[in-house]
Amino acid sequence: MRRTWLAALAVTVGAAAVTSGVSQMATAGAPSRSQEGAPSRSPLRWGACPSPTEATLRCARLAVPLDYGHPDGRTIDVEVSRLASTKPAEKRGVLLLNPGGPGLPGLPVPALLKLPQKVRDRYDVIGFDPRGVGQSTPLTCGFTSAQGEVAANPPNPGSAADVAKQAATAKSLAAQCATSKTADLLPHITTANTARDMDRIRAALGVPKISYYGESYGTYLGAVYSTLFPRRGDRVVLDSSLPPEGYDVAALRAQGTGFETRFPDFAKFAAAAPQQYHLGSTPAAVREKYFQLAARLDRESVQGYDGTTFRVVTAGAIRDDSGFAYLAATWHALDTDQPPPGSGDTGGGGAYSDNYPAAYLGVICGDSRWPTALATYQHNVAVDRVRHPMYGAFVANIRPCAFWPAPAEPKVKITDRGPSNVLMVQNLRDPATPLTGALRTRRALGERARMVTIDQGGHVAYLTGSNACGNDAVTDYLVTGKRPAHDSYCPAEPASP
């Protein structure tokens, strides 16, 4: 998520960044159904949006099947937003957005994502809260704030015993989700079903095809949609791609690699101004400061930061160069027992909602079968602590997914069958969705895709970095349909002053 609008989404989700009797769907291989059979159109009735953060948008509610195996059965709601083009004569169609997550609301994104005006002119820009999220029949596991934090980010394990301790916590959290008041929704909160919802949105909008821009987890959602409905996609952009298997245990562990790849950019930044940031005069010294602070905070919290918070904040801030100064100041404050910047902020206020961690778990646990053996996680933690010492053990720890039921339907296999209409864009040094996973998705899509790789760091390439080559590639495709004839590379460009 880009920092420029992450804060606004954080207020919306109300959170810091399944059942044992789940029955199998009647048709096990849902992707083999007649996915291109058009659902009947249900015109959307546009009105005021349910939150003031979407004041510039118009919103509508759409009923969709809870279980696409029984499309005439129970329905749930999906809330949709629209930022209409102001130049109807130039409009091509609709551009659907997804900000990633999973578990993040998409309703405010058309207003928050500052698309170039020429893109805005060409499309009605459409956002939506995915099923289970925000205004779209939301999930809850009944988590307290403390439980929600552990559900999304287990503590850094220092030993096999720590993993065993976390296993007990993870099992308890999974059981709590399985007995929550929305537990009956959990088997159906999957990426495949969200893609099917997208096609219902398309039909309700009355258009034969949709263009799409998805970031991070949104790339997997876009790839699944393009696989299930290959003829319904117009211009599809996947920014910072997950592997073709989606957000599973391997993709999570890959963040250990991504962190190590990206961290030198921050270390170089901080070391260039040692008198300002006080973290060391060489990148090696800044790296050592990370280990010192992490170890200290693992032992005892400082100013409300424990080791987990420190790692999560660091991983989030290095996703965008604009977070470097804030991160350096935070480290220095913790190092000197001072309040970190922004620590006096009251945030969004209001009662805590566990919708983000509940929906996050619902998707990642419901999409994939995670390892179930404690010994597997203890092994992964030991290996990744050595292989990626900065962040590897942290993301290898056991999560509630280990105690989730098997997915209700087979995972969608991303293939190269369909039109050549996908543009992938990827930073070389992405900490959250590393290049290696994106390259595997590129291979899975085959001739359907072209990929633009950019020599810059950070998570999310389009409009976040200063690289004109990468930004123009996406804008040109959305506006004109022009893609590179072959995969291409954008050299590093100097940052804007």
Distance, CA of 324 to CA of 272 (rounded, Å): 12
- The catalytic residues are 216, 430, 459
Cα–chain center distance at 435: 16
Q: Across the strands, what pairs with 61? A: 79
- Give the burial class of 482: count Cβ atoms within 10 A of its Cβ; 0-12 exposed, 13-18 middle, 19 or more buried: exposed
pLDDT over threshold 70, residue 19: no
What is the percentage of the chain residues whose pLDDT exceeds 90?
86
Name the residue ranges covered by the structural domains of the chain. 3-10+44-139+186-248+413-490, 141-181+252-343+350-367+370-405
Give the DSSP letter string of 61-91: EEEEES-TTSTTS-EEEEEEEEE--S-GGG-
Q: Across the strands, what pairs with 302? A: 305
pLDDT tens, 197-206? 999 999 999 9
For residue 246, give Cα distances in angstroms to 3, 197, 365, 408, 411: 23, 18, 11, 16, 9
pLDDT tens, 57-92? 999 999 999 999 999 999 999 999 999 999 989 999
Q: What is the mean predicted confidence (pLDDT) over 439-464?
A: 97
pTM: 0.92
pLDDT over threshold 80, residue 324: yes
What's the mean pLDDT when you consider all of the chain? 91
Under 8 Å CB-to-CB from 174, ≥6 apart: which residues? 18, 361, 365, 400, 401, 402, 403, 404
Residue 65's pLDDT is 98
CB–CB of 448/228 below 8 Å?
no
pLDDT tens, 271-317? 999 999 999 999 999 999 999 999 999 999 999 999 999 999 999 99
pLDDT over threshold 60, residue 494: yes
- The CATH architecture of the domain made up of 3-10+44-139+186-248+413-490 is 3-Layer(aba) Sandwich (3.40)
pLDDT tens, 100-153? 999 999 999 999 999 999 999 999 999 999 999 999 999 999 999 999 999 999
Cα–chain center distance at 350: 24
DSSP secondary structure letter of residue 302: B
Q: What is the mean predicted confidence (pLDDT) over 29-35?
A: 38
